[in-house]
Amino acid sequence: MVSSSVLSDEARIRLPNNPGLRLIGFLHGLFGLLGSSGELPEILSRFLCDLGEYLQAEGGFIVATTDPTNLRLLAEFGVPFIEEDHDRGAISKFYDELIRKQRPALASGATPEASSLIGVPLVTEKRLIGVVVFFRHERLAAFIAEDIPLLSVVAQPLAIHLENVDFARVTSARRAELEAILSSMEDGLLVVDRMGEVLSFNNSLERLSRYSAAELYGLSWEDLLTTSSPRIETFHAFNRALRVGEVFSARCPGSLKTNEGPEIPVSVNFNTIVEDKGSITGGVLSIRDMTFETQVDRMKDEFIANVSHELKTPITTISGFLQMMLGREMPRSEMVPLLDVLKGETDRLHRLINDLLELSKIQAGRIRLTPRKFQLELLLKKSARPLMVRHQDSHRFVVEVKPTRGMILADHDRLMQVMVNLVSNAVKYSPEGGEVRITANRQNDWWHIGVKDEGIGIPADALGQLFTRFYRVNENQTSGSGLGLFITKEIVERHGGRLEVASLEGKGSTFTVHLPAKGPAETPR
């Protein structure tokens, strides 16, 4: 018989000479192995070795299985068992008894090392965990039915141990998975007991509240959250549900207090924790940071107010002038100035509507460029010409392009839209007599286009928001939807370029467009 070298002499189970005491001592030591510390394969190998020596086995193994086609070796000792060396029908019948019928089995082998086989299923509450098998050398007597009870007695605690190990492994894996999910959540999560005291929380709550873990454990959820009337009733209802043990679920806006700085607008989901038997053991609060949504809502409100104002002003003018023209006979000499005003207000409405349509296309990702080659100088002069004619008595215009016949690959109409917006802004924010300078120069494969004015300038604290949708530097100085520069920047970036601004209050501003000369397929520097 081949002995395993897994155990040292000191680690082997010591057996007394009396047969009855010998068996009791053997089983006591064997079951004690299952409670010892160490890795499962090592413990099982020691278990097999001691049991195999007691049974005078040449070798043995434990496999985990739920069906005959899925066997997973957990541990073995002694001579390896090679299934291919044995009669396939006999081995299949042997496994069928153990696995499918879940009852002990004996079998004859076809090799000298494994001429006799014995096995028992490892079952807990009718659930198959695996099987344990031993085999003897042909020089020893074959296993008989009287050997089965001892192996069955040993199999029961072994099956329970394997089930517990598997349960602990699954539980640990699920716990690690849950911790990973909670750690990756953007929402803050707060678990409280029935008195509302904090039991646990995730990393996002620490980040949002800026409280340390030690500080959070000393708080109740009401120390962290506030809300306004009538929403406060939801807070009270959650506390009542916790204390009386009622199921509760609700959502409510509120504010999260922070250890540093102002409160954060949040949305809170309240839920009580219901155990399997229906008892309430505490509550869970899911806290979502609504700062961005609040800012968006405020911007939407401001935008609606701005657009309403921008629409109302020209419509009021148009309506008033039309009523005046319809109310009495007018010679053409009096009608022409009024018609000129009506056209200007109509153009103003047209520009606003176009801006809104452009914004819609940008948000939906429906802006499509149609690049073609053209002379940049011709586009710059064409974009400035209407403004030069209209404001020739109040502003000076300069257009300088180097090289003068330089080509660019771009969407002509979109680039025209960019330049008209930048030049009209320069005129709008410049005093009478001010100069509007349009320059362009090519360096390597890039065009650098500048629009410089001598106007009021832009405050330093406004530069960071200048290209934000709906933003206007000074609500009282100029009209507009606050979309022009946002749209302009989007068009430039779709070309693979970038838009920059430099400004000093009272000195003027310079907007610079950097565009790849060879087309929007190139990436910006």
pLDDT digits (tens, 9 = 90+) for 478-520: 455 667 888 889 899 989 999 999 988 888 999 999 999 988 7
CATH classification of the domain holding 389: 3.30.565.10
Strands 396-402 and 435-443: parallel
Reading the block at residue 46, the tokens are 């020691």
Q: What is the largest CA-CA distance in the chain?
A: 136
Cα distance between residue 48 and residue 155, in whole Å? 11
Using the 3D structure, point to which of 289, 307, 327 is the last residue of a domain. 289
Q: Which long-range contacts (CB under 8 A, 24 or more apart) does 351-354 make?
A: 352/307, 352/310, 352/311, 352/481
- Strand-pairing partners, residue 311, are none
Average pLDDT, stretch 103-132?
A: 91
Question: Does residue 103 form part of some domain?
Answer: yes
- Is position 479 within any domain? yes
| Amino acid 481: pLDDT | 62
Which spans in 328-443 are helix H? 332-363, 376-390, 412-428
Strands (E), 193-309: 198-201, 225-226, 249-256, 264-274, 280-289
Together in a domain, 166 and 204: no
1 is a domain residue: no
- Residue listed under structure tokens 């640990």: 172
Residue at which a domain ends, from 170, 200, 218: 170
32-72 pLDDT, tens digit each: 667 677 788 888 888 888 889 889 999 999 998 876 677 88
The residue that leads in pLDDT, 100 or 66, is 100
For tokens 């920059």, the residue is 500
8-state DSSP, 220: B
Query: Both 300 and 201 in a single domain?
Result: no
DSSP collapsed to 3 states, 384-415? HHHHHHHCCCCCEEEEEEECCCCEEEEEHHHH
* Predicted pLDDT at 31: 65
Q: How much is the mean pLDDT over the chain?
A: 83
Please state which of the ranges 26-30, 32-36, 134-138 shows the lowest mean pLDDT.
26-30
Tokens of 140: 């020893």
Q: Are both 74 and 143 inside the same structural domain?
A: yes
Domain co-membership, 106 together with 146: yes
State pLDDT tens for residues 243-300.
999 999 999 999 999 988 889 999 999 999 988 777 898 999 999 998 888 877 777 7
Residue 437, pLDDT > 90, answer: yes
Residue 252 belongs to some domain of the structure: yes
Q: Would you call the peptide bond into 230 cis, given omega within 30 degrees of 0 as the criterion? A: yes
Residue 26 pLDDT = 60
Asked if 434 and 489 sit in the same domain, the reply is yes
> Do 194 and 165 sit in the same domain of this protein?
no
- Same domain membership, residue 97 and residue 28: yes
Do residues 199 and 120 both lie within one domain? no
Domain assignment present for 129 = yes
Run of H or E including 93? helix 88-95
In a domain, 493, yes or no: yes
β partners of residue 76: 61
pLDDT > 70: what percent of the chain?
A: 85
| 187 to 124, 197, 296, 328: CA distances (angstroms) | 42, 19, 19, 66
- The answer to whether the beta carbons of residues 117 and 134 sit under 8 Å apart is yes
Q: Is the pLDDT of residue 15 over 80?
A: no
| Residue 391 structural domain | 371-516
DSSP 96-107: IIIIIS-S-EEE
Give me the percent of the chain exceeding a pLDDT of 90: 36
Q: Which helix (H) or strand (E) holds 67?
A: strand 59-67
| Domain's final residue, options 234, 258, 289 | 289
Same domain flag for 298 and 285: no
Tell me the pLDDT band of 176, cut-offs 50, 70 and 90. Answer: low
Give the mean pLDDT of 230-235: 90
Same structural domain, 165 and 25? yes
Give 361-369's long-range contacts (Cβ < 8 A, gap of 24+): 362/487, 362/490, 367/414, 367/490, 367/491, 367/494, 369/410, 369/411, 369/414, 369/494, 369/495, 369/520
- Three-state DSSP class for 373? strand
Could you report the per-residue pLDDT of 357-377, keeping only the tens digit for each? 777 777 667 778 889 999 999
CATH number at residue 326: 1.10.287.130
pLDDT at 20 over 60: no
Q: What domain count does the chain have?
A: 4
Whether residues 269 and 318 fall in one domain: no
Candidates 63, 197, 168, 56; CA nearest to 115 is 56
Asked if the structure places residue 332 within a domain, the reply is yes
In a domain, 434, yes or no: yes
Token pair for 524: 């910006």
Instruction: Indicate whether 412 and 491 sit together in one domain.
Output: yes
